[in-house]
Amino acid sequence: MSSFDTLHILNKSPEHPRAAQCLALLSKGDALLLTENGVLLLSAGRLPAVGKVFALSPDVSARGLGNPVGDVTVVEFGDMVSLSLQAQRVISW
Amino acid sequence: MSTLIMIDQPPYGSWSGREALDMAFSLAAFDQPASLLFTGAGVTWLKRAQDTAGIAQKSVERNLSAAPIFGIEAILADRSACQKYGLDESSLITGVTLVDANGALLEQYDHTAFAG
Amino acid sequence: MPERNSEGFLEDAQAWTENVATTIAAEDNIQLSENHWEIIMFLRSFYKEHEMSPPSNRLFVKAVKETLGEDKGNSIYLMQLFPGTPAKTACRIAGLPRPTNCL
């Protein structure tokens, strides 16, 4: 049983063309995990309307984005593994 | 477990695409099914008759021609990106399959990864 | 002997001759037979065609198998001809760059 259809791992800043592609493909039933500069999406205030959003804690903290607003779950490195195991497919953007 | 390696960067000017190629070859070395998908400016990897003598780099066209020998399953190129860069069947290297790079295509692979 | 790097690989693949191959092989206590030359010539044409050495030992075996068949494209056969890491030993003798993913 998979909890998510596709886990999208996005490590690109919101200005990177791949970020737009990723968000366009994100569907209901998917999960979005923001890492590295991908977490800047949280400050750009552009959280997607569909899918469940996660953000990697050390990257969030490093950029001073602690306690982000909106429907986002902050996770640790170890959670990345279980997230990928919960997904049917993984796309690393 | 099938893997799709995506290349969306042009061939010369950064190493990210070569890393992608390396990734694909390494998967093939361990008999893991792997395919390459070229999108965006990445489709320019697939242009016939690249002459890299002047920039002192190895030709990705020639490197890529080793892919079938190493067991890479398919070399795919996004149709609309090819159109945008003026590439048709006569200007593409042999062995390329034109596809529409959309969600339905990515759903066929367990793992999709970009390099760089 | 043309210029070589610290691991004994030629700096310039163009500088290779059959005599160079014989000399490098002798350093590894290998006396080149017809079977050796077949693989060396295969590697040189592979490099000319693809501008790369097979990047790893496994891919070297695969490439030989693809071209010369299973009798020769297997690791035992290649290991007997080119002891150590066959891809590395064979590329060194063939005057080609070191396979990128061989330690």
**CATH number of residue B54's parent domain:** 3.40.1260.10
Amino acid identity of C44?
Answer: R
**C-alpha angle C39-C40-C44 in degrees, rounded to nearest 5:** 115
List the Cα angle C85/C91/C92 in 5-degree steps: 90
Name the one residue in this structure whose structure tokens are 């790097």. C5
Please tell me the predicted confidence (pLDDT) of residue A47. 86
How many structural domains comprise chain B?
1
List the chains bordering chain B where 3 or more Cβ pairs fall under 8 Å. A, C
Q: Is the pLDDT of residue B14 over 70?
A: yes
Per DSSP, the residues of B94-106 read TTEEEE--SHHHH
d(CA A46, CA B41): 26
Q: Does A92 contact B111 at a Cβ distance shorter than 8 Å?
A: yes
Q: Which residues pair with B97 in a beta bridge?
A: B76
- One digit per residue, pLDDT tens: chain A, 93 residues? 579 999 999 999 888 989 999 999 999 999 999 999 899 898 877 788 899 999 999 999 888 888 787 889 999 999 999 999 999 999 999
Percent of chain C residues past pLDDT 90, beyond the cut: 92
Place of tokens 């099914």: B33
Q: What is the maximum span of chain C, computed from C-alpha positions, in angstroms?
A: 35
> What percentage of chain B carries pLDDT values higher than 90?
72
* DSSP character at residue B82: H
Dihedral (C-alpha) B88, B92, B98, B102: value to the nearest 10 degrees? -90
Q: How is domain C13-94 classified at the CATH fold level?
A: Arc Repressor Mutant, subunit A (1.10.10)
List the structure tokens of B16: 């990210």
Is the confidence at residue C103, as pLDDT, over 80?
Answer: no
Residue from A51, A55, A46, A66 nearest A10 by CA: A55
Mean pLDDT for all residues in chain B: 92
The SS3 call for residue C4 is strand
Whether C102 is catalytic is yes
* Minimum-distance CB partner of B114 among A18, A25, A90: A18
Phi-psi region of A18 (alpha: psi -120 to 50; beta: other; left: phi over 0): alpha
For residues C94 and C86, give the distance between their C-alpha atoms in angstroms, rounded to a whole number: 12
* Cβ pair B23, B85 in contact under 8 A: no
Domains of chain C, residue spans: 13-94
Cβ contacts (< 8 Å) between C66 and chain B: which residues?
A: 69
- In order of A13, C15, C45, the CA distances from C63 in angstroms are 40, 24, 12
What domains does chain A contain, in order, with CATH numbers? 4-92 (3.40.1260.10)
For residue B116, give the chain A residue with the closest CA: A93
